[in-house]
Amino acid sequence: MATSPTDSGNHTRSGLKQDPPPAFSGDAVRIVADHRSELRAWTRFTAIFLAVFVGLYALYTLLEPLLEGYYAFLAHSVAAVLAHFDPQVSARDNVILYGAAGTLRVVEGCDGVTVFILIAAALAAYPRPWRSRLFGIVGFVSLLFVVNWLRLVLLAFVRFYLPEHFHWVHVYLFQSVMIFTTLALFILWAGRGSSVRASA
């Protein structure tokens, strides 16, 4: 059957009609834009977090020799608690003593400063009002100080009364507890802000 020039123009050489390429819908454009915005936000968060963490940790390393008084305070306060139950426990400088049976020295890494810096860097980098971030940093550093102090009390107890378990408790258990506590606090804080914005 003969075809008109118009009909033949609408067919390809194979005789099949060729549809125009699909255009991006508005939803697809929005999805791409959202992904790019989210990527920029995560890049910004990571950059600020690393800058604050490295800066604070470098400052901590420089000032560490000045923290002997802080280490001594931790040692004496822990010894004072344990001495209520066992008079053999005492402290000298940054060392907790248990008669002649053993010692526990409070040094860098026992002071909790690393997790203080970790939570401070995470909150400083998160996109929330500065007032909320500052209150969060002060509150969480204070809470982590208490958690770390309790960790030292339990470490001293294990060191003096259950010494065979000290290495595992010190290296694996309590370090994991400090890290997971810090992570949980940040997730709860960040999630609370997201839920508030969603309900607003």
CB atoms within 10 A of CB 35: 10
Q: How far apart, in whole angstroms, are the C-alpha atoms of residue 200 and residue 194? A: 10
DSSP 84-151: TT-TTEEEETTEEEETTTEEEE--TTTSSHHHHHHHHHHHHHSSS-HHHHHHHHHHHHHHHHHHHHHH
1 DSSP 8-state letter: -
Cβ pair 159, 138 in contact under 8 A: no
Is residue 34 over pLDDT 70?
Answer: no
Q: What is the predicted pLDDT for the residue at 37?
A: 74
167 exposure class (CB count in 10 Å sphere: 0-12, 13-18, 19+) = exposed
DSSP 149-171: HHHHHHHHHHHHH-GGGHHHIII
Confidence of residue 18 (pLDDT cuts 50, 70, 90): low
Task: Please tell me whether residue 186 adopts helix, strand or coil conformation.
Answer: helix
Q: How far apart, in whole angstroms, are the C-alpha atoms of residue 101 and residue 92? A: 15
What's the average model confidence in pLDDT over 141-167?
A: 95
What's the average model confidence in pLDDT over 24-40?
A: 66
Q: How far apart, in whole angstroms, are the C-alpha atoms of residue 120 and residue 48? A: 11
Domain ranges (residues) in the chain: 25-199
What's the average model confidence in pLDDT over 61-88?
A: 93
Residue of 100 and 14 predicted with greater confidence: 100
Q: What is the predicted pLDDT for the residue at 154?
A: 96
Report the share of the chain in percent with pLDDT over 70. Answer: 78
What's the average model confidence in pLDDT over 35-56?
A: 90
Is residue 63 over pLDDT 70?
Answer: yes
Q: What is the predicted pLDDT for the residue at 197?
A: 46
Query: Mean pLDDT in the chain?
Result: 84
What's the average model confidence in pLDDT over 170-194?
A: 90
Q: What is the predicted pLDDT for the residue at 64?
A: 86
82 CB-near residues (< 8 Å, 6+ apart): 89, 96, 153, 156, 157, 160
CB atoms within 10 A of CB 65: 8
pLDDT digits (tens, 9 = 90+) for 80-126: 999 999 999 999 999 999 987 689 999 888 899 999 999 999 999 99
Amino acid letter, residue 146: V
Asked which of 9-23, 66-80, 166-180 is least confident by mean pLDDT, the reply is 9-23
- pTM to 2 decimal places: 0.77
Q: What is the predicted pLDDT for the residue at 21?
A: 54
Cβ pair 145, 116 in contact under 8 A: yes
